[in-house]
Amino acid sequence: MPTTPEETQSRGFIIPIGGAEGKGRKPKILQRFVDLCGGEDARILVIPTASLLNETGPLYKELFESLGANSMCVPIEDRDECFKEETLRVVARATGIFITGGNQLRLSTILGGTPVARMIRSLNANGIHVAGTSAGAAIVSEHMIAGGRSGASPRESGVELAPGLGLTNRVIIDQHFNQRQRMGRLLAALSFNPFACGLGIDENTAGFIGPDGMMEVVGNGTITVVDPSELRHSSMSYVRRAEAVTLIGLKLHVLASGSHFNIETREATLD
């Protein structure tokens, strides 16, 4: 379960981004994140653990500074660094945390269960905003899609799941959604856990999920919301390996920029 906030404090925003977010002139999603975190007073911590590229962390640090924020980069490369007091001191100072893209399993195996992961959960519960792009988006939820098949239809063995950071247990997130044809693996993930909603987030698109559970869609693409709350039948438990899965009773929304979805009430609304 997500960490419970202190009685007088609202949760911070959770901002999953579908990857390939605009970084050029007037990058709408990243600028909005900076403004949310305090603008010129923002202290944005970049965590590039998922990436194997040395330049990823410094690139985002420079980008956030060009947007008017103060920024730090913590290149956490192994679990031991997550236990160091200096690392924890840097994380604790952030007004916003940004988790870059790369390999989801690097995030879960290096950060999962460490003091850094627990601190991120606690900070978000007490008002600090957390954004992630691509792999960084997938890990914000309790259940993380770590891999799986491309394609439109769900299949047995079509998705690999791993524990995420658990900032929310209300959604399961997939990224690069329409660009990489990931509807099938999102549906397969939901067949295992129909409690959560599925969010399929396109590139250069983000969901700004507020402390009240209201998500606003921002960006050039769409967020495909799959609501399994009225799921009446799933064949996942008895189909043979790699066979197609039957799912009856799903509800689907396709939401472009300015649309809203309440992850608590499962209601979609226009701007």
Active site residues: 134, 176, 203
Strand pairing category for 197-201 and 222-227: antiparallel
Query: Tell me, what amino acid is at 139?
Result: I
| Those residues with Cβ within 8 angstroms of residue 238's Cβ, 6 or more apart along the chain or in another chain | none
The residue among 224, 207, 219 whose CA lies nearest residue 152 is 224
Reference 123, options 236, 47, 181; nearest CA is 47
Spatial neighbors of 89 by CB under 8 A, at least 6 apart, are none
Describe the crossing of helices 56-66 and 28-36 by its angle, rounded to 10 degrees. Answer: 70
- Comparing CA positions, the residue from 32, 101, 111 lying closest to residue 68 is 32
> Pairing between strand 43-47 and 70-73?
parallel
What six digits make up the tokens of 161?
A: 């799941």
Which residue type, as a one-letter code, is found at position 257? Answer: S
| Rounded Cα–Cα distance for residues 167 and 118 (Å) | 10
Query: How does 26-48 read in b/e, with b if 16+ C-beta sit within 10 Å?
Result: ebebbbbbbebbbeeebbbbbbb
